[in-house]
Structure 1
Amino acid sequence: MFKKNKLLVLPLLIVSPLASAADVLVITAPNSKDPYTAITTSSATKNDTEILKLPQTVNVVTKTQIENRAAETVVDALRYTPGVVTEYRGDSNRNDEVFSRGFDYANKVLDGISFGGNASSSMGTTEPWFLDRIEMIKGPASVQYGQISPGGVIAMTSKKPTTQRINKIQLRAGNRNKTEGFFDLGGKLTDDGNVLYRLNGLAKKKDTQVRDYEEEKYAIAPAITFLNENTSFTLLTYLQNAPKNGYRNFLPKLGTLESTPEGKIPQDFNISNPDYNVSKQKQRSIGYEFEHNFSDRISLVQKARYAEIDEKYNYLVFNTLADNAKNYPYVLKRMAQHEKTKLNTFGVDTHLNFYIDSKGVSQTLLAGIDYKWTKEDKQFWRDRSGNYDIDWRNPQYQPIDTSKQTLSTDQLQKSNQIGIYIQDQVEWNNWNLLASTRYDWVKVRTTDRTINNQSQQNDGKLTGLIGLLYSFDNGISPYISYSTSFEPNLATNRKPESKPFDPKTAKQTEVGIKYLTPDQNTLATLSLYHIEQKNIPKYDSELGYMTLIGKGESKGIEAQINSKLTDKFAMTGAYSYTKTKVLETANSAEKGKQFPRIPKNMMSVWGQYQENTGMLDGFKAGAGVRYIGSSKAGADNGFSVPGVTLYDAMIGYDLAHVSPSLKGATIQLNVNNLMDKHYVSSCGMSDACFYGIGRTGTVTFDYAW
């Protein structure tokens, strides 16, 4: 049945970008009224929608916020977003990974197309320099994007060609030998403005918090847009090479969270061997965005992208503390391992927009179809001989015998997904209704080459969202919504000869209230939600394979305010309370327990002052505080990780006020974790703890002309 459907559907997915047209499109750079108060979203409904009229939570991080906080990664940029757990691994991370509303990992979408692999995959990174904004769509969002974690979606928007001329370079330097360079060029290629371009690039290098590990990355993103009377076609390409892609490992609770008679494990301790470390990643993609307006009432949008991610890593991973009375707890047992992964993905989304206005009722009707293909080829070698013990007090790195490594994983997994969806946004008087539904067909074929076995699973699911909002004339908008999601369970290390797991499914009920001031300078949101997910998989180390723990839930409160209080002062504030619980599980000791690594309480405030008159004209300063509450560790909640309060600061100056010849030049200093707080960011269990990121300082020089 799937093959027949695919043959019928695929011809509808590709639409020629050479369609005829009638009126000229004009493309300009994104320019919201205030950079701290984004009042629209383009990702939550796949068209521009006022946040005030949307019956669900969307948190927007604007380009200005990214720049003012000198965010190095997408994860950094989300630090001040309610309900989002960032940097749970501290500096031990090679991908953009966050938890949202208690669930891992929030899926990633770039320009409307899934990024980073299958459901729950977290492969790959996207540099903030290449983005115009980051939106966090909260809760189950399968109706928009198919296979989705119930916690939410990170929706990223690339910088695109514009008619506005752009010439900008940026240089950065900081501690840990940080040196970085960026450029952003764009504008018209033809006098009539029918051909536009954008060229972004970067080169960056720094030491990680861990000794003998570096991060080094080079990336470039050329883009070109063709306009032809009511039709636009943008070609987007991206090349990224990270010959040194950072660090990822674990440490024990005893020595990090708890002190030993000889203190704690140094924050920069490298548990791997410096001469064995390999950490490489390459990313490549090519795609396009096509839009054609048949009239002012009907438009067609199609987006597509093909992408590749190649990764190779060699390292020794921490296993457990050595059971030796004399050296306990200073000797750590390690396993040498080597892994290679190649991910190929293709996605295409096509939808029609119909704008209807009749008898006081305004409607935006969207109907579409999307297709996603994924191929993941993975090999994993490991040496379990236990010959690589190391004493963290005086580390001696033994040579690695690669001949003892055995191939434990050799897997090829291919998946195909087709989804059809329809969405209706209805506005009548002060009422706003959002109703949408979607059906997905998913086929996954897995080849385990270690045992010459092939399996196939077919999943299909109907998901939806319905929400109602009333917008009072005074700017207050209460709402209620209900949404569902699903993810195929792709775990292959199940009980031998067992059937594939049923897909994970989730449902959410959310109520909330939003407020936008008449001048649109302040947007405040408050939401209460309840998410319930079934068929959650979990690896059982005693059994040696995956099991389904059954059902879990997350209940919470999220509040956020973005405001420009005066012409000189702007601020963001966020608070979240997240209560998770295992509702059903085969292990009675885990029932009723919280999800590990999820803080119940998180709070953040960022304030920024900018002077535009007098002797300090051109000066700006900002400060932020982030509180990350305590979290549980282990499936049985055997111990807790204490909360921590971190401080960030920024000062900057427009150098044009020093000399007219420096017009367009600015300088900015950012310091994160200002007090250099040493802390444990989270523990999954007693043998999987992570140090938080220490103090980082960055000086940024910008020049635009």
Structure 2
Amino acid sequence: MKNFYCFLSAFLLLQNILIAQTYIKGKVVDQDGEPLMGANVILSNDHGTIADYNGNYMIPDLISGTYTITATFIGFMPQSQSITVKEQENSTLDFMLIASSEQLQEVEITGRREKSYKNNLTFAATKTATAIKDVPQAVSYVTKEVFADQQAYRVNDVIKNISGVNMYSYYDDFTFRGFRSGDTYINGLRVVGLFGPEPLLANIERVEVIKGPASAMFGNSIPGGIMNRVTKKPLAQDRKSINFTLGSYNTLRTTADFTGPINEKETLLYRLNLAYENSDSFRNLQEFKSYVIAPSISFLPTDRTRINFDLVVTNFDGKLDRGQPIFGATAGTDIYATPVSFAIGQTSDFHKSDVVYSTLSLNHQFTDNLSFNASYIKYLFDEDLEEHRTSNQFAVDSNGSPIPTLMGMQVITRQGQTIADNLSTYFVYKTNTGAIEHKIVAGFDYNEQKQPVGNAQSFARGYLLEGGGSSNSAADFANFLRDESGNPIPNVPHFDLQNPTYNVARLSDYIFENSPADPTKYYSYGFYIQDQIKWNRFQLLIGGRQEYYNDLANFDQPDEEITTQNKFLPRIGLVYSATPNINLYGTYTESFQPQGVASLNNPQAGGPFDPINAYMLETGAKGEFFNNRLAANLAVYYIENNNILVNANDTNNPELLRQRGQEESKGIELDINGRILPNFSLTANYAYNEATITESDNLEEIGTSKENAPLHQGGIFGKYSFLHGKLKGIGFTLGSNFVGERNTLEPTLQLPSYVVMDAGVSYEVDKFSIRFLINNLGDKTHWVGGYSYTRLYPGTPRNYLLSVGYTF
């Protein structure tokens, strides 16, 4: 009892002291509301304190007056605020610190601390850690926090959050500002484009798209933009989580993410991402079995040297979905003629592939002003395919006329490997000339892709011939073997669209032609220099790249052929800080796409052909609002693309090519990401894009919109969470995206516009979370992309996902 009275007396004495004092208290957090333990909070008279474990601080013993208080924390920009206090009136002053790009390395080695829809920095756009609002070019992104709230598992699930990007098919296949995607990038390094399995997100920190030509940084690339996937990196703080998901179409998924320091000095960090999926699909025959194993290590031996190593092993086991066929092939054909679940194939078909890649990155600071940066990636893609697929035409009757309910078929078997190597090295030098600041980048990179000896495929297609064998040529129509009705007999049975059947196919029933693939290789390299100049409110980015592209046919064979193309690629951009929160910018940049050696050296193709080249003019504004929690980017652009190579459709020479003179893309884009309130997150986008053919020898093409390039598209997704009261921990999500009408490769076939809504609810308590999401709430029938009447790509009907997660 005596001890109790002593404790009570001390408590009352402390309470009286606090009541009698004048003090300032508050909390220091980052942009995501996470407390910054150890942050320094200093008064203008050098009186201060340190934030505790929860980010709270208190400065007692103050007299009346006005104070300037500054909060600082390593890796964040200092923040100062003024406050006036009166005698015996206590005040509260909170700080939200913003991550500082100036204290980060130039290669993205250490992980992103933030946990928000907003991302502040990009490395790929300028080769340096640059605030996105200081980049004179549109850069859109989706963070892993959006992945989680939308329960996205593949890249195709999240591109609806990016303006100006549209799906072309189910594969890693998109349009950027109306131009079809080309190569894929991981951590700013070029790898093999996966025309098949959709890339998984389990080990991805964010997906970012650098809009418009990016050749000045990456060499040969399409004019619409590039997609860069940034992998998760180790963090210096312990974070561990595991998540389980189930849902429609027998979906079962699990993911795990572990990171933290390995040693006490925190010079060795690790991260391990794991994922597994086993699920079906709304599409007939389709299934998804995949796993990801992705360890990562960061080594920070000194404060001037950082090294990171990533290894990613991904396995895909399913079928290659070639899309939905519909009846007929003429104007007015009903796009709803077959159900969206309708797929062509056989039960025994399969598509197995393995993707393995490793990345090694180094950043070394020689001095405070000079650093060296290097990144290398080795990427291997192995494929084993057996598929029954459409021959892209309908069956023909005895007169050679199409039968709109019977689909022509072919069988393809393929085994092969593609290997990519990409090395990027550059120096960054920071200096001043008077009041002008310079950040100079000078570098060299090398990219190589090859298909080695041993790649091969075989085809079974066409119609049986009277004398034996088979033919896929219309010139042999008179010699086709006929049935009792006089119709040609196919090598692979036609697929009946009215009465579909699925079987375990016997490949021995077909006549195959073998097609061994000649070994191929291309390599490119470039030298570039860039200067980011800052003076007063102006930032000028000026740079150039000399690119050399080399394409080898029959690689490492006696008849090896090489074609070399090169081009100088300039880039210039200006940023003006109109206010502390709003930047205005303008840019001019070019792109370069060399023609392949197969086209250039084929006498039947009609070459030689000039490389595809394009330029872009873009202007816009970038701003940060709501105490820098919300970012908004507005872009207006014009792109001109020249020398596009297309088939001439010459019946006498099917290999003849022609260069379609010119294409244009112009439009407006808006992207918004971040938080309006600490408990209200938002991502929204809108794009108006006119992508048309403007010059062509075929007059009917002029003025035509490019394929899978909608005039309007956009979307919005938000999450509101309750922080107090009886509903504390409950969150609601609501989203919608729309896509306008799109042309396909068939002039008479257009995909309809659509609007799709999603809604969900979540509950978080302590370290436990549960999320429930319904996608396509209105069960809207829609198509996300398509090629022709035989290959359409429908969107998923209404479906649900339920996930349970635990953080420890």
Q: CA 1:158/1:24 → structure 2, altered by over 3 Å: closer, same or farther?
A: closer
* 2:758 paired residue among 648, 653, 658: 648
Q: State the distance in 2 between where 1:407 and 1:588 align.
A: 40
CA deviation after TM superposition for structure 1 residue 401, in Å: 3.9
> 1:184 — aligned with what?
257
CA deviation after TM superposition for structure 1 residue 73, in Å: 1.0
> For residue 244 of structure 1, what is the amino acid of its counterpart?
G
CA deviation after TM superposition for structure 1 residue 540, in Å: 4.7
CA deviation after TM superposition for structure 1 residue 411, in Å: 2.9
* 2:787 paired residue among 684, 694, 697: 684
CA deviations over 1:617-668 (Å, ceiling 9, x no partner): 1111111111100012336x434221011111221111x2xxxxxx311011
Q: State the distance in 1 between where 2:196 and 2:447 align.
A: 16
> 2:284 — aligned with what?
211
CA deviation after TM superposition for structure 1 residue 575, in Å: 1.0
> 2:466 — aligned with what?
none
Other structure's SS at 1:519 match: coil
* 1:406 paired residue among 509, 513, 525: 513
Alignment of 1:473-512 (within 5 A): 473-490=579-596, 492=598, 496=604, 498-499=606-607, 501-512=609-620
CA deviation after TM superposition for structure 1 residue 308, in Å: 0.4
Q: State the distance in 2 between where 1:514 and 1:150 align.
A: 22
8 Å Cα contact 1:107/1:152 also seen in 2: no
CA deviation after TM superposition for structure 1 residue 257, in Å: 10
Q: Is residue 374 from structure 1 mapped to residue 449 from structure 2 by the alignment? A: yes
Q: State the distance in 2 between where 1:571 and 1:507 align.
A: 33
> 1:98 — aligned with what?
174
CA deviation after TM superposition for structure 1 residue 685, in Å: 3.3
Q: State the distance in 2 between where 1:39 and 1:285 align.
A: 27
Q: State the distance in 1 between where 2:364 and 2:383 align.
A: 38
Other structure's SS at 2:726 match: helix
Q: CA 1:244/1:687 → structure 2, altered by over 3 Å: closer, same or farther?
A: closer
> 1:294 — aligned with what?
366
Q: Is residue 570 from structure 1 mapped to residue 681 from structure 2 by the alignment? A: yes
Q: CA 1:305/1:527 → structure 2, altered by over 3 Å: closer, same or farther?
A: same
Other structure's SS at 1:615 match: coil
Report % sequence identity: 25
* 2:439 paired residue among 355, 364, 373: 364
Q: State the distance in 1 between where 2:792 and 2:386 align.
A: 20
> For residue 558 of structure 1, what is the amino acid of its counterpart?
E
Unpaired stretches in structure 1, ≥5 consecutive residues: 1-22, 657-662
> 2:35 — aligned with what?
none
Q: State the distance in 2 between where 1:108 and 1:287 align.
A: 15
8 Å Cα contact 1:345/1:374 also seen in 2: yes
8 Å Cα contact 2:235/2:271 also seen in 1: yes
Other structure's SS at 1:64 match: helix
CA deviation after TM superposition for structure 1 residue 27, in Å: 7.9
> 1:589 — aligned with what?
700
> 2:573 — aligned with what?
467
Q: State the distance in 2 between where 1:539 and 1:196 align.
A: 53
CA deviations over 1:161-204 (Å, ceiling 9, x no partner): 22111221111111111111111122222222222211111111
CA deviations over 1:485-514 (Å, ceiling 9, x no partner): 112222736552755643221111111122
Q: State the distance in 2 between where 1:482 and 1:527 align.
A: 13
Q: With structure 2 as the length reference, what TM-score do the two structures score?
A: 0.77
8 Å Cα contact 1:61/1:77 also seen in 2: yes
Other structure's SS at 2:148 match: helix
CA deviation after TM superposition for structure 1 residue 122, in Å: 4.9
* 2:627 paired residue among 489, 495, 519: 519
* 1:304 paired residue among 369, 376, 394: 376
Q: State the distance in 1 between where 2:595 and 2:772 align.
A: 45
Q: Is residue 439 from structure 1 mapped to residue 546 from structure 2 by the alignment? A: yes
Other structure's SS at 1:329 match: strand
Q: State the distance in 1 between where 2:699 and 2:516 align.
A: 31
Q: State the distance in 2 between where 1:343 and 1:619 align.
A: 47
Q: State the distance in 1 between where 2:249 and 2:331 align.
A: 24
CA deviations over 1:594-636 (Å, ceiling 9, x no partner): 212211110211121111111111111111111100012336x
Q: CA 1:209/1:485 → structure 2, altered by over 3 Å: closer, same or farther?
A: same
> 1:544 — aligned with what?
654
> For residue 460 of structure 2, what is the amino acid of its counterpart?
D
Q: Is residue 108 from structure 1 mapped to residue 184 from structure 2 by the alignment? A: yes
CA deviation after TM superposition for structure 1 residue 69, in Å: 1.0
8 Å Cα contact 1:260/1:329 also seen in 2: no
CA deviation after TM superposition for structure 1 residue 324, in Å: 5.0
8 Å Cα contact 1:597/1:633 also seen in 2: yes
> For residue 114 of structure 1, what is the amino acid of its counterpart?
R
8 Å Cα contact 2:325/2:343 also seen in 1: no
CA deviations over 1:282-312 (Å, ceiling 9, x no partner): 0111220111111221111110011100112
Alignment of 1:64-103 (within 5 A): 64-86=145-167, 88-89=168-169, 93=170, 95-103=171-179
Other structure's SS at 1:693 match: coil
CA deviation after TM superposition for structure 1 residue 474, in Å: 5.0
Alignment of 1:213-362 (within 5 A): 213-229=286-302, 230-244=304-318, 246-249=320-323, 251-252=325-326, 254=328, 264-275=337-348, 277-318=349-390, 319-323=392-396, 328-362=403-437
* 1:533 paired residue among 641, 652, 661: 641
Q: State the distance in 2 between where 1:78 and 1:189 align.
A: 35
CA deviation after TM superposition for structure 1 residue 563, in Å: 4.0
Other structure's SS at 2:156 match: helix
> For residue 309 of structure 1, what is the amino acid of its counterpart?
F
CA-based RMSD: 2.8
Other structure's SS at 1:492 match: helix
> For residue 227 of structure 1, what is the amino acid of its counterpart?
L
CA deviation after TM superposition for structure 1 residue 321, in Å: 2.5
CA deviation after TM superposition for structure 1 residue 78, in Å: 1.6
CA deviation after TM superposition for structure 1 residue 142, in Å: 0.7
Q: CA 1:620/1:590 → structure 2, altered by over 3 Å: closer, same or farther?
A: same
> For residue 370 of structure 1, what is the amino acid of its counterpart?
D
* 2:690 paired residue among 579, 583, 587: 579
Q: CA 1:440/1:123 → structure 2, altered by over 3 Å: closer, same or farther?
A: farther
The number of residue pairs the alignment matches comes to 663
CA deviation after TM superposition for structure 1 residue 313, in Å: 1.7
Q: CA 1:122/1:114 → structure 2, altered by over 3 Å: closer, same or farther?
A: farther
CA deviation after TM superposition for structure 1 residue 422, in Å: 0.8
Q: State the distance in 2 between where 1:193 and 1:522 align.
A: 32
> For residue 214 of structure 2, what is the amino acid of its counterpart?
A
> For residue 264 of structure 1, what is the amino acid of its counterpart?
A
Q: State the distance in 1 between where 2:632 and 2:270 align.
A: 36
> 2:533 — aligned with what?
426
CA deviations over 1:562-591 (Å, ceiling 9, x no partner): 242222222222111111121232323222
> 1:62 — aligned with what?
143
8 Å Cα contact 1:257/1:641 also seen in 2: no
Q: With structure 1 as the length reference, what TM-score do the two structures score?
A: 0.88
Q: Is residue 31 from structure 1 mapped to residue 142 from structure 2 by the alignment? A: no
Q: State the distance in 1 between where 2:429 and 2:322 align.
A: 48
> 1:659 — aligned with what?
none
Deviates more, 1:403-412 or 1:547-556: 403-412
Unpaired stretches in structure 2, ≥5 consecutive residues: 1-102, 463-489
> 1:47 — aligned with what?
128
Q: Is residue 174 from structure 1 mapped to residue 247 from structure 2 by the alignment? A: yes
